[in-house]
Amino acid sequence: MASNIFLGRDFKAERYAIYALRGLIRIITYPLQFGGNTRLKHKVRLAILKLQNSLPIEMTACKGDVVMQIGTPRPRTIERFRKAVGDTGTVVVLEAEPENFARLNQWCEQQGYQNVVLVEAAAWSKSGRGTLSLSPFSGDHKVALTNVSVDNDRRSGNAEMAEIDCQFLTIDEVMSANKIPRLNYLSVTVNGGELEVLKGATETLSAMNVRVYAKGHALLDNGEAINVPIRHFLSSLGYNTIRTRGEPSSTLDPAWRWRAGDVYAWKNTGS
């Protein structure tokens, strides 16, 4: 019992340290958040990712950018992206879980946003109907894969998830159907299905110069982190890739104490 208590405290200390670092980085990089997509901004992004797993939203996008977020239950995410891209930019969000989508849609309607595109669907490697697994935690919903596991599955309440039918779309289809001419930044955070989502964006990623962030800590059956095949896939499309620094797990399971790093990719330096 004592060891479990100590373990819990240790996990919390790691998380608090990460949160403090994120806050400090947002403060330090504040002047760059208003600038264009310069070589300096690119170098600072890479430096940040050596210290933590992800970038502040304000550092991912620039004024006038078109950004796409795959999966989010939080209106706050949309709000921060909107501020980053300004009135001349566009924010595209795909969210499959009905309650999450309704929350986002209501928020955008209340705010009167004209430059936010909401799509009620799960991004995937092919279109059609599919099954979405629902968690008691709004950020843990996922498309289950038999050969992929994530630490969120070890959280109490996620042992048995309800399932619902939902629409699957590829990012390439979303771009075409909504007449989105370009994409500057793509964030994929879908609890283990990141590689399948990226496969559905093959045409977009090949034709455009997109900055890509994908969660990469899920594990394959062979124990390999999913960031490995994600990097191979993006490299095959002409992207430079790095594995970001890992982060503390969402569970107290010692086997998942520290998550593997995520993936950040880009085509040209300074872009």
Positions of the chain with pLDDT under 50: 1-9, 270
| pLDDT at residue 244, as a whole number | 95
| pLDDT at residue 1, as a whole number | 33
| pLDDT at residue 230, as a whole number | 98
- Please state the separation of Cα 240 from the chain's center in Å: 18
0.75 surpassed by pTM: yes
Q: Of 141, 130, 76, which is closest to residue 104 (Cα–Cα)?
A: 76
| pLDDT at residue 11, as a whole number | 59
Q: Of 159, 146, 128, 141, which is closest to residue 96 (Cα–Cα)?
A: 141
Q: Where are the domains of the chain?
A: 2-266
Nearest 5°: the CA angle 47, 265, 119 is 120
Cβ(169)–Cβ(121) below 8 Å:
yes
Q: How far apart are CA 126 and CA 20, in angstroms?
A: 40
| pLDDT at residue 197, as a whole number | 97
| pLDDT at residue 118, as a whole number | 96
Tally Cβ neighbours within 10 Å of residue 2.
Answer: 6
Q: Of 76, 118, 115, which is closest to residue 95 (Cα–Cα)?
A: 118
Q: Looking at the domain that runs over 2-266, which CATH code has it been given? A: 3.40.50.150
